[in-house]
Amino acid sequence: MLRVCVHQIRKDLYGDLIDFKKRFDTTSKVKFQTVIKNCMKQIAGGISAALVSIANHIPFTLIRAIENSQDEDQ
């Protein structure tokens, strides 16, 4: 966590489409779904959503949208 630069944290908090496509091959959603499910477990375990998003390189706004959504598969 200490080696993460401010620029990367901003990408993780607000999202960056190019970076997102590099990390999660958009042709298959299995990898992305696995990471999201892991993130939700970590948040349910008491870890801050902001820290989870940065640690897993998922946009914080996306994590918040998933948390607020009633349909988990969406």
Question: What residue spans define the domains of the chain?
Answer: 6-68
Quick one: 65 exposed, middle or buried, by C-beta within 10 A (0-12, 13-18, 19+)? exposed
Predicted confidence (pLDDT) per residue in 4-57, tens digit? 677 766 666 666 667 667 776 666 677 778 888 899 999 999 999 988 887 887
Residue 37 vs residues 28, 50, 57: alpha-carbon distances, Å: 15, 15, 14
Q: What local confidence, expressed as pLDDT, does residue 60 receive?
A: 83
Looking at this protein, which amino acid is placed at residue 7? H
Looking at this protein, which amino acid is placed at residue 71? D
